[in-house]
Amino acid sequence: MKRVPRSMVLSMRLPVESGRRLKRIANRHGWTPSDASARLVEEGLRRSEFAFLDFRDSPAGRQAYMQGSTLAVWEVIFLLRSYKGNVAAVARHLGWPELKVRAAVNYAEAFPDEIDDAMSENDSANFETLKRMLPQAVVFASRKKKSN
């Protein structure tokens, strides 16, 4: 059985300023410059292959987001599941064209492990984990009005 390599080495030449910027991004994330360039290339490839896709830093790490929104792809899929897969209903709920919701579905189908991992992380979150990411979070309880 022939073994397929999981990665390949490519060499590239960058302008000096681009190399500095790459090193800054790598340092910010705790990556090597090689890891940073590989991740950024992969993100660029995915952006070119999937409509309405962007990548952003989040408290949970670097994630795929829908362009022009604050929603990560996994959040759109989470919403879609709560609407039992009804793309039109989710599009109405978000005020988006259906094709934007379908774009999230296309990405999720191509990278199911990424979406499942994000959903699992969300399912395991509680107030304590939220508070670590958002130190300003406080517990509050609604007060019921007393009946006369």
The Cα-based distances of 15 to 1, 19, 21, 52, 100 in angstroms read 42, 6, 10, 29, 36
Annotated domain spans of the chain: 16-49, 53-148
The per-residue pLDDT for 52 is: 98
Q: Which two tokens stand for residue 84?
A: 């039992």
CB atoms within 10 A of CB 44: 11
The per-residue pLDDT for 148 is: 59
Q: Which residue has the tokens 């500095």?
A: 20
For residue 65, list its beta bridge partners: 54, 72
CA angle, 68 then 72 then 76, to 5°: 95
Residue by residue, pLDDT tens for the chain (148 residues) are 778 888 888 888 999 999 999 999 999 999 999 999 999 999 999 999 999 999 999 878 899 999 999 999 999 999 999 999 999 999 999 999 999 999 999 999 999 999 999 999 888 878 887 788 778 888 877 777 666 5
d(CA 30, CA 57): 13
The per-residue pLDDT for 36 is: 95
The per-residue pLDDT for 6 is: 85
d(CA 97, CA 76): 13
Helix (H) or strand (E) holding 57: strand 53-58
The per-residue pLDDT for 146 is: 65
Answer whether 67's CB lies under 8 Å from 76's CB.
Answer: no
The per-residue pLDDT for 50 is: 97
Backbone angles phi, psi at 45, to 5 degrees: -65, -45
The Cα-based distances of 29 to 20, 122, 143 in angstroms read 14, 22, 42
The per-residue pLDDT for 108 is: 98
